[in-house]
Amino acid sequence: MHIAQRYLPDCPQLAAQVRQLAAQAAEVDLVDPLSEQFLRGLDDSRLNHRHLLALEDAMVLGVLAYDGTSSELLVAPGSRRQGIATKLLAQFAGTDVWAHGDLPAAQALAKDLGMVPTRRLLVMEIKDQALVEAAEFQEPVGVRSMNLRESIDRWGTELVEQAWLEANNDAFAWHPEQGGWDRDRLRLAMGADWFEESDVLFFWDESGPALAGFHWTKWHTEEEPHFGEVYVVGLAADYRGRGWGGPLLRLGLSHLLSRGSSRIILYVEADNGPAVRVYEKLGFSISQEHVIYSSTGN
């Protein structure tokens, strides 16, 4: 077995092996080992991800993917406990590493390597009758709710996308992945194979084409039954404190419920106590936890 760096967008056969390994690991661990962005990085050269592979002849036994900020790690279920993860991480000493599901094996590896949790991302879910009740939506006075396609048809792509970007960057100026977007970053996100214009919902100020907030939902078809996700939801600063956050959240839940979802998930930072409490009050509960481990020397 040897460690080699490969540019997987140029190596489709190796990329396909990594996808297959990810599916096998998910079946064993009951949690996806690679996030959506890192899975896209296997094929999409625009993301410029770097990949280290643990190879036995031409067979992939493990992979470490690096996006310039953090890493994700995957070892084939049948090749674990052989030091492969340690060897991969040694090539990227000091990198922050995601542990999806924060499984006991990941905790043990982090402890052995002197790494500690520095970020916790919760997966929360709501389903069945609690979802039906939470999805009751009433449009606030002064708001017109429209989806992305309806908005573009009325005001044009340039105005709508610029307003969306400004609202996003205002709401997520603090966020390491969602903040600081430009038009190229937005278009890249809209290029995902699951993207639907009707799943992006806006609160427009009725007094003019000013965007108060947005709720970008996602429809998951990778498992049965299909389900929905509160992908990104945010209010522009000028519209906070008006009580519009709750209705904006319910707008997306109502939309996903109308698509037939009986379960909806969302991701939220564990240290965002106010948001977690809002979701819990609405009926969401924690179903998974993803953790970033960092070297104590960082």
pLDDT bin (cut points 50, 70, 90) of residue 297 is: low
The per-residue pLDDT for 174 is 81
Q: What's the mean per-residue pLDDT of the chain?
A: 94
Long-range Cβ contact pairs of 271-279 (< 8 A, separation 24 or more): 271/120, 276/122, 276/124, 278/245, 278/246, 279/124
Q: Per-domain residue ranges for the chain?
A: 2-113, 124-288
The per-residue pLDDT for 208 is 80
Q: What is the pLDDT of residues 163-188, one digit of tens each?
A: 999 999 998 888 878 878 999 999 99
For residue 298, pLDDT beyond 60: no
Q: Residue ranges for the binding site for acetyl-CoA?
A: 73-75, 81-86, 233-235, 272-277
Q: Residue ranges for the binding site?
A: 36, 73-75, 81-86, 177, 218, 229, 233-235, 267, 272-277
Which homologous superfamily is 124-288 in?
A: Gcn5-related N-acetyltransferase (GNAT) (3.40.630.30)
In the chain, the N- to C-terminal Cα span, in Å, equals 30
CB count, 10 Å around CB of 113?
16
Q: What is the pLDDT of residues 57-111, one digit of tens each?
A: 999 999 999 999 999 999 999 999 999 999 999 998 889 999 999 999 999 999 9
Task: Give the CATH class of 2-113.
Answer: alpha beta
The per-residue pLDDT for 92 is 86
What's the predicted TM-score (pTM) here?
0.88
- The whole-number average pLDDT for the span 152-165 is 96
